[in-house]
Structure 1
Amino acid sequence: MTPQTQTRPEAGAEPHDEATTLLVEPSSLPRRERLVQTVLRSREVSILAVLVLVILAATVKNPGFVFSASGWRDLLLTPSMLLVLAAGQTVVIITRNVDLSVGSILGLTAYMTGRLFIDHPGLPVIAVFVAGLVVGAVLGLVNGLIVGWGRVPALVITLGTLYIYRGIVLTWAGSSQINASDMPAGFLKLGTQQLLSIPVLFVLAAVVVVAVGYFLQTARSGRELYAVGSDPDAAVLYGLPVRRRVIGAFVLSGALAGLAGVIYAARYGTVSSDAGTGIELQAVAAAVIGGVAIFGGSGTVWGAAVGAVLLVTINRALPMVGISDFWQQALVGALIIGAIVLDRVLANRQARTLIEARDEQ
Structure 2
Amino acid sequence: MSRLIPIRETILASAILLLMVLIASRFSGFVAPSNLANVFNDTAPLIILALGQMVVILTRCIDLSVAANLALTGMTVAMINMVFPTLPIPLIIAIAVLLGAAMGAINGLLVWKLSIPPIVVTLGTMTIFRGIIFLISDGKWVNSHEMSASFTGFPRALILGLPVLSWVAIATVVIFAIMMSRTQFGRSIFAVGGNPHAAVYTGINVGKTQFWAFVVSGALAGLTGYLWVARYAVAYVDIAGGFELEVVAACVIGGISIAGGIGSVGGAVLGAIFLGVVKNALPVVNISPFWQLAISGSAILIAVAFNARAGRAKGRIILKSDETSMGAAQ
**Offset of residue 38 of structure 1:** 9.2
Confirm or deny that 1:214 pairs with 2:178.
Answer: yes
Hey, what does 2:315 align to over in structure 1? 351
Match of 1:47 in 2: 12
CA distance in 2, matches of 1:47, 1:180: 38
The answer to whether the 8 A contact 1:191-1:268 is kept is no
Give 1:61's aligned amino acid: R
Matched with 1:4 is none
Contact map agreement 1:57 1:321 (CA 8 A) in 2: no
Contact 1:148 1:247 in 2 (8 A): yes
Give the structure 1 partner of residue 209 of structure 2: 245
Counterpart amino acid of 1:92?
Answer: V
Aligned counterparts of 2:4 and 2:181: Cα–Cα separation in 1? 20
Match of 1:145 in 2: 109
Amino acid at match of 2:17: V
After superposition, what is the alpha-carbon deviation per residue over 1:34-58, rounded to whole angstroms, capped at 9, x for unaligned?
Answer: xxx998x521121111112222222
Residue from 24, 27, 30 that aligns with 1:65: 30
Mind listing any 5+ residue stretches in structure 2 that lack a counterpart? 326-330
Q: Counterpart of 1:297 in 2: which secondary structure?
A: coil
Distance in structure 2 (CA, Å) of the matches to 1:220 and 1:68: 38
Amino acid in the other structure paired with 2:139: S
Query: Contact 2:133/2:237 (CA < 8 Å) preserved in 1?
Result: yes
Aligned residue for 1:259, secondary structure, equals: helix
Segments of 5+ residues of structure 1 without an aligned counterpart are 1-13, 17-36
Q: 1:73·1:199 contact (CA, 8 Å) conserved in 2?
A: no
Aligned length: 325
1:295 maps onto 2:259 in alignment: yes
The residue correspondences of 1:130-209 to structure 2 (distance < 5 A) are 130-209=94-173
Distance 1:193 1:222 in 2: 32
Whole-angstrom CA distance in 2 between matches of 1:323 and 1:114: 35
**Root-mean-square deviation (Å):** 1.8
Q: Is the 8 A contact 1:228 1:297 kept in 2?
A: yes
TM-score, length-normalised on structure 1? 0.86
2:294 aligned partner: 330
Q: Deviations over 1:224-251 (max 9, x none)?
A: 1111111222222332111110100000
Please give the alpha-carbon distance, in whole angstroms, between the structure 1 residues aligned to 2:256 and 2:149.
39
Q: Alpha carbons of 1:319 and 1:138: their partners in 2 closer, same or farther (altered >3 Å)?
A: same
Could you tell me how far 1:201 is from its partner in structure 2?
0.5
Partner secondary structure for residue 72 of structure 1? helix
- Which one-letter code corresponds to 2:311 in the other structure? A
The equivalent position to 2:58 in structure 1, one of 94, 97, 120, is 94
Q: CA deviation at 1:149?
A: 1.2
Q: Secondary structure of 2:282's match? A: helix
Distance 1:81 1:324 in 2: 22
Check whether the contact 2:81–2:151 (CA below 8 A) recurs between aligned residues.
Answer: no
CA–CA distance in 1 between the matches of 2:294 and 2:83?
44
- Tell me if structure 2 keeps the 8 A contact 1:191–1:200: yes
Confirm whether residue 74 of structure 1 aligns to residue 74 of structure 2: no
Aligned counterpart, 1:33:
none
Distance 1:195 1:285 in 2: 30
Poorly superposed stretches of 4+, deviation over 6 Å: none
SS in structure 1 at match of 2:313: helix
Q: Is the 8 A contact 1:288 1:294 kept in 2?
A: yes
- Answer yes or no: is the 8 Å Cα contact 1:106–1:258 preserved in 2: yes
| Counterpart position of 1:226 | 190
Greater alpha carbon shift after TM alignment, 229-238 vs 240-249: 229-238
CA distance, structure 2, for counterparts of residue 330 and residue 289 of structure 1 = 14
Specify which of 214, 221, 230 is matched with residue 266 of structure 1.
230
Q: Return closer, same or farther for 1:167/1:198 CA change in 2, 3 Å cut-off.
A: same
